[in-house]
Structure 1
Amino acid sequence: MAIKLFDAVFYLPIIVSCMIISQIYFERYWVSSENTQINRIGLATVIIITYFIQEYCLLQLSLLNINEVAFMQVVPMTMVFRNKVYKIWWGLLVVTPLFANLAEYLLGVVSLRSWWFWIVESVVFFGIGWFLTHWQGVSKRLRYFLALMCLGIVGLVSLVITNRFNPGSAAAATLGILVIALFEDRRYRSEQKNNHKMKLLQQESERDDLTGLLNYRALTQEISALAGKPEIHNIVIGALDIDHFKRINDTYGHFVGNEVLNYFSTVFRKKIYSAFPNHGYVYRFGGEEFSIVVTNHSLVEVYKLLTKIERSFNKKPIITSGNEKVTISFSCSLTKHLKGEVLDTTLKRADKMLYSVKNNGRGWIITDNHHQPYEK
């Protein structure tokens, strides 16, 4: 009896926890794989086959160790509580009680006369999962814990109805479920912590250390995302250089140069964000090179704003911490990102246009339809 209680409370729950982890890794592979119809169907097939193999193994192990089928609904119930739930798991949650009872019938454990109870179990498990996953105002961890407790209660009721109640099966439906809940809670917290760390690392990898602006990597990802959104109907991309920045470094030193970069980045970003809230983005490529992206605004609007910013920098010198007065200007090119165009093609066009500004006096802005310096 002691061995059966150990199997019900620890051995089988640990196996179930390992099954949950394996299904989560399959799910992650699903997300990361190429999003084609063939891949989706293929991976869904693998997940379903693997799942039923796991369930059949669990059925055999639980019968062998505690003479009772246990924990069969835990894996699908856990998976419907994931952040992004795939519909396949709702189907598996419904089918699992039918699969388990049919397997028990074929093994001679239950009678076919209780077929109606198989259907009731499927409906009850689906109802529990649907209600608790959609219950607002309660933490997901608590709802998941309640879902597992409900599985245990249904299991106990089933044992009473079918006259199969014994200490081992009762321990599996209570303490065993509790152990699984504790394991999953620990795994979930660890996963959340790791995801948070990964998110911070991702953000750090997309930020320029000196100015805090987004970098080229972030620009590439942003353009790809923007180009695929139906609500984005226009994208203006600009390449920008601070004029004669090397001269500033040579005259005042690199520390003053860094102050100038920080000041320029802060002011420029603030003006872009204020003029185009949620539609204006500023990036630093390195050195004195910057880029801007503005969506759902015309090229003319962006040109007029940058002209004002350019003039304000000319009129108001930067006062450094060493009281040096540094007047700066910038050269800029603006071009529209064409539909279906590769980002590199747009950037190369903007870069080529920017060189024409540098070769014609600097301190002015060129656009797709404006090729002459403005009057200062």
Structure 2
Amino acid sequence: MLKLIILGFYMPIMLTSLLLARHIFYTYVMESFDHKSIILDYLMEGLIFFIHEIIIIDFSFISLDLICFQYVLPIATFFLGRKRYANLNFILTPLIVFGFLKLKTGLVSTALIQIYLKAFLVWLTCWLIVMLKNIGFFGKFSLALSFINIFNTVITFFTLRNFYSIQDRIILFLCILFGTALIIIFIYAYLRDLKRRREMKKQITYDSLHDRLTNLLNYRAFSVFVSEQTSQDDLTILMIDIDNFKNLNDQYGHIVGNQILRFFANKLNSTFLKEYKYEVFIYRFGGEEFCVIIRDISVTDCYQTVLNLKKVLKEHPFRLKTHQKIDFSFSGGIARSTKTIHPRDALRYADTLLYQAKKSGKAKVNYGEEDQG
């Protein structure tokens, strides 16, 4: 009865704990090392794997008088970790098993060949399962773990057929299958929770850098971007402000005002992304103020795109649900950072040009000379 509990419950829990410990070690320890030594990586992996594998083999042998689940760590590393580490695991596993049995039972040296042959078949099975199509990575891991544990158990019981009755072999076999299923369930639950946490972290990061109303980048994202730039970066900066937006809010209400902001943000985004694709960054600073940063284009090219935006707004104006058209305009200022002008200075100059455009009548976009400081 104790053997059944160990096979069906205790070992799966222990193996899952070791797998999680390995994952945490790689995530928070190995990846935090500031080094580029592949040899050191392999030495650390080999040491950790050796310790964990000895724990599994020793506990299995002492408790059950046989070795089982010895390929769980290599298979998990193969499908859920790094294949280069998995290959090392498959090389080390036969050596560890042979060395352990040599010390415990005086196993003959020729048995090492048989143990390596089994390890090679397990490794080959993993590669064949990887090639299967229409199955996710976790499905492949589950298939490989189940098949290989069955294969390993059958081989082990065939080798030790004189030590176990048929009834004992069937019971132990079913317990190993149950234990394998538990490992798969535990790992699935962990990976699902890990995915949820990563998505949550990703969403928090996204929210911190984007404006909730328009989904454009926000001022915090702009500050991060500018802090990473140098005076060598060639950026054209456009500052835009919707004209008389307060009057629109007063006349139509804040709900319609928000709709206008979203509408304008979408047109701004689509117009510039269509022209420049991945080299444009669009921000909402707050209220009705927006900023566009484009790499490696001239001020006049940027101005031409602004004219295209005006054309788009004229041809496709904002309309209420009642189909009432609401016309609005915007003012802007364009400046460029160069080798002698830092992006922050270019931003201030673009803001000054925007202010001048609004002061001189609005619905205008001013731009400085290419070498303007």
Scaled by the length of structure 1, the TM-score of the pair is 0.78
Aligned CA-pair RMSD: 3.8
Match of 1:73 among 65, 71, 76: 71
Deviation at residue 99 of structure 1 after TM alignment: 1.7
Match of 1:208 among 197, 208, 211: 211
Partner residue in 1 for 2:144: 147
Deviation at residue 87 of structure 1 after TM alignment: 1.9
Structure 1 position 11 matched with structure 2 position 10: yes
The CA distance in 2 between the partners of 1:109 and 1:154, in whole Å, is: 25
SS at match of 2:332: strand
| AA matched with 1:13 | P
Write out aligned runs for 1:54-93 (5 A): 54-82=52-80, 85=82, 87-93=84-90
The CA distance in 2 between the partners of 1:70 and 1:218, in whole Å, is: 53
The CA distance in 2 between the partners of 1:150 and 1:58, in whole Å, is: 19
**Cα deviation per residue 1:151-182 (whole Å; 9 max; x = unaligned)?**
21331243145336643764564332232223
The CA distance in 2 between the partners of 1:139 and 1:203, in whole Å, is: 27
Partner residue in 2 for 1:283: 283
The CA distance in 1 between the partners of 2:294 and 2:338, in whole Å, is: 10
Deviation at residue 42 of structure 1 after TM alignment: 5.9
**Cα deviation per residue 1:112-146 (whole Å; 9 max; x = unaligned)?**
22121122123122212222233222232321122
SS at match of 2:105: coil
**Does structure 2 retain, via aligned residues, the 8 Å contact 1:94–1:125?**
no
Partner residue in 1 for 2:49: 51
Match of 2:101 among 101, 104, 112: 104
The CA distance in 2 between the partners of 1:132 and 1:296, in whole Å, is: 48
Match of 2:129 among 112, 132, 138: 132
Write out aligned runs for 1:112-127 (5 A): 112-127=109-124
Write out aligned runs for 1:122-271 (5 A): 122-160=119-157, 162-163=159-160, 166=164, 167=168, 170-171=173-174, 173-218=176-221, 236-242=235-241, 248=247, 252=251, 254-255=254-255, 257-271=257-271
Give the direction of change, closer, same or farther, for the CA distance of 1:80–1:213 in structure 2 (3 Å limit). Answer: same
The CA distance in 1 between the partners of 2:134 and 2:103, in whole Å, is: 44
**Does structure 1 retain, via aligned residues, the 8 Å contact 2:222–2:283?**
yes
Scaled by the length of structure 2, the TM-score of the pair is 0.78
The CA distance in 1 between the partners of 2:284 and 2:30, in whole Å, is: 31
Bigger mean CA deviation after superposition, 266-275 or 209-218: 209-218
SS at match of 2:367: strand
**Does structure 1 retain, via aligned residues, the 8 Å contact 2:333–2:353?**
yes
Structure 1 position 302 matched with structure 2 position 312: no
**Cα deviation per residue 1:276-324 (whole Å; 9 max; x = unaligned)?**
3454442223233323244576654333212332576689976668969
**Cα deviation per residue 1:6-32 (whole Å; 9 max; x = unaligned)?**
111111111001111111112322586
Give the direction of change, closer, same or farther, for the CA distance of 1:155–1:220 in structure 2 (3 Å limit). Answer: farther
SS at match of 1:238: strand
The CA distance in 2 between the partners of 1:72 and 1:193, in whole Å, is: 30
The CA distance in 1 between the partners of 2:5 and 2:262, in whole Å, is: 64
Structure 1 position 366 matched with structure 2 position 363: no
Report % sequence identity. Answer: 18
**Does structure 2 retain, via aligned residues, the 8 Å contact 1:245–1:288?**
no
Partner residue in 1 for 2:36: 37
Structure 1 position 331 matched with structure 2 position 328: no
The CA distance in 2 between the partners of 1:99 and 1:174, in whole Å, is: 24
Bigger mean CA deviation after superposition, 51-60 or 301-310: 301-310
Deviation at residue 369 of structure 1 after TM alignment: 0.7
The CA distance in 1 between the partners of 2:227 and 2:106, in whole Å, is: 57
The CA distance in 2 between the partners of 1:186 and 1:251, in whole Å, is: 53
Residue segments in structure 1 that go unaligned for 5+ positions in a row: 228-233
The CA distance in 2 between the partners of 1:361 and 1:296, in whole Å, is: 25
SS at match of 2:68: coil
The CA distance in 2 between the partners of 1:119 and 1:306, in whole Å, is: 69
The CA distance in 2 between the partners of 1:282 and 1:177, in whole Å, is: 51
The CA distance in 1 between the partners of 2:338 and 2:75, in whole Å, is: 46
**Cα deviation per residue 1:228-256 (whole Å; 9 max; x = unaligned)?**
xxxxxx96452413055575478646555
Deviation at residue 215 of structure 1 after TM alignment: 2.4
